[in-house]
């Protein structure tokens, strides 16, 4: 697992909680994606982190149980081939493949059997 993404009501308050109270580092952000969302990333390092998302689009109020947006997993090797193989195996691709909002790597979303979105990210070459 790479990260968990959660919706937040107040980005500054959430960053303060995770960094000042829980001792995580602000790895990046907040970054503003016009018309979409604001995002910040907190964690010990980029090996496992929390993606904080303040949704700019209209939506019902968040309640306990609907704050987890998705799971994320690195995909090693040829990203397009991996997505094609998943589709051939009957996995529903709900978004992508496309470049991530920052344009740094390929991204796609698939759906697990429970309807939970799983973000697949092109692995960063380290």
Please list the active-site residues: 119
The values of phi and psi at residue 61, to 5°, are -60, 145
Inter-CA distances, 63 with 13, 66, 75, 77, Å: 17, 6, 31, 38
The pair of structure tokens assigned to 96 is: 């992508």
- Residues present in the chain in total: 126
């Amino acid at each position: 697992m790479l990260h968990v993404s959660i919706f937040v009501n107040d980005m500054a308050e959430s960053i303060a909680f995770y960094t000042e109270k829980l001792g995580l580092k602000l790895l990046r952000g907040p970054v503003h994606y016009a018309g979409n969302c604001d995002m910040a990333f907190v964690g010990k390092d980029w090996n496992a982190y929390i993606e904080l998302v303040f949704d700019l689009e209209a939506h019902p109020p968040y309640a306990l149980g609907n704050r987890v947006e998705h799971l994320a997993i690195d995909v090693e090797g040829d990203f397009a081939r991996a997505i094609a193989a998943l589709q051939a195996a009957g996995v529903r691709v709900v978004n992508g493949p496309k470049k991530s909002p920052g344009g740094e790597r390929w991204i796609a979303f698939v759906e697990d059997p429970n309807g939970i979105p799983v973000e697949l990210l092109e692995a960063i070459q380290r």
